[in-house]
Amino acid sequence: MNIGRGSGIVKLKLKEFVMRVVLSLLLAVGLIIFTASASKPSFNGSAPGCSGGGCHNLQDGIVSVAANGLTVEVTVSGVTPGKKVAGELVDASGTVVDVIDKTGNNPFTLTAPQEGMYRVNAGFKNPQLKWDSTMVNISLTGVEPPMVTNEIREFQLYPNHPNPFNPSTRIQFSLPTADNIQLIVYNIRGQEVRTLASGFFQAGSYAFIWDGKNNNGKQLPSGVYIGVLKGSQELRSIRMVLTK
């Protein structure tokens, strides 16, 4: 068996994945317009509850939430099992800070960048679009990151906080089962600049601080960077903005 060749193929596939993420970001932000705001999900129409085609009908009481640290678990009731649901987390200024556009997971999770009051808009289409909205208070006082295996439901890389950042940012991920993982930072050209974690991790939640430096300890220039969490079966990525 040619182990070296196999390792090279894995690295090539990972780089291809990173480049696809970079390309999608370039298209999404118009050749890198720096902004921390997420896009509103397609399910939300032009505005919650608006009239006309493509908009939601408000249906009170179908959304419930439970906060755990910076994570909000959202449940949409009245949905046929397997039907797609969607949701967004909106801060006090009206900025969408996290989005789940379409998912078969119900409940699903949204992640806040920091403490504060947030509005959760969530809904489904069956066959008309239906939505509801509720407020949630995010507070870290006395809260510890979840470390019990049965509390972790999915392989997840959460949005870094703060973002944009200077000089450092916190990157958190969760593993539903033990796995060999790598947490790597890439520049916008798809080049690896920093390995934050690499090895075998038990199921649970983990957090690492990135200080904006490369593997040689050199401070990197301001710009967009891609954080990639690679497991044995799954990949997740986030967009991070380093400012000066």
User: pTM for this one?
Assistant: 0.45
- List C-alpha distances in Å: 197 to 4, 13, 169, 171, 201: 22, 19, 15, 11, 10
How far apart CA 139 and CA 71 sit, in angstroms, is 10
pLDDT confidence tier of residue 3, bands split at 50, 70 and 90: very low
pLDDT in tens, 80-120: 877 888 888 888 888 888 888 788 888 888 888 887 888 88
Going by pLDDT thresholds of 50, 70 and 90, the confidence category of residue 149 is very low
Find, among 130, 116, 115, the residue nearest to 63 by Cα. Answer: 130
Determine contact, residues 103/84, Cβ cutoff 8 Å.
Answer: yes
Which domains can be identified in the chain, with CATH numbers? 3-33+144-242 (2.60.40.4070), 42-138 (2.60.40.10)
pLDDT digits (tens, 9 = 90+) for 4-62: 455 555 555 666 666 666 555 544 433 333 323 333 344 444 444 444 444 556 767 78
Q: Is the pLDDT of residue 215 over 80?
A: yes
Q: Which of 192, 151, 196 is nearest to 174 (CA)?
A: 151
Q: Is residue 15 classed as helix, strand or coil in its secondary structure? A: helix
User: 165-202: per-residue pLDDT in tens?
Assistant: 988 888 989 899 989 989 999 998 889 999 888 888 88
Q: Give 72's strand partners.
A: 67, 110
